[in-house]
Amino acid sequence: MILYNIRAKGTYEYDKFILNIFQICNDISNLQDLYKNSELLSYINSTKEEYNKITGENGNSVTLYKYKLATVE
């Protein structure tokens, strides 16, 4: 995405502003379309659950870290 420098005074200042607004608007609509996709949402949720299993309070990484601390002499 190209964001134009609004502060630069010139003949196309208004055009640059409008282009910025339309590009941001298009990006938001694209994100909304992505999040409406149920497959994507289920993938995000499953990835989040897997991440929490690994890094959670009693996750695998914490267990491994505690084991390593216990074995260090």
Which one-letter DSSP state was computed for residue 65? H
* Rounded distance between C-alpha atoms, residue 44 and residue 35, angstroms: 10
The gap from C-alpha 73 to its chain's centroid, in whole angstroms, comes to 41
Residue 8 lies in a domain: no
Model confidence over 19-43: pLDDT tens digits?
A: 888 999 988 888 887 777 777 778 8
Rounded Cα gap, residues 60 and 1, in angstroms? 39
Q: Note the Cα 28 to chain centre separation in Å.
A: 13
For the stretch 41-64, pLDDT in tens is 788 888 888 888 877 777 778 888
Residue 8 pLDDT greater than 70, yes or no? no
Residue 19 lies in a domain: yes
Count of domains observed in the chain = 1
pLDDT band for position 6 (50/70/90)?
A: low
**Does residue 49 belong to any structural domain of this protein?**
yes
Give the model's confidence band at 7: pLDDT under 50 very low, under 70 low, under 90 confident, else very high: low
**33: containing domain:** 13-71
1 falls in which pLDDT band (50, 70, 90)? Answer: low
Whether 1 is covered by a domain: the verdict is: no
Reference 16, options 4, 27, 1, 26; nearest CA is: 4
Please check whether residue 63 lies inside any domain of the structure.
yes
Residue 39 belongs to some domain of the structure:
yes
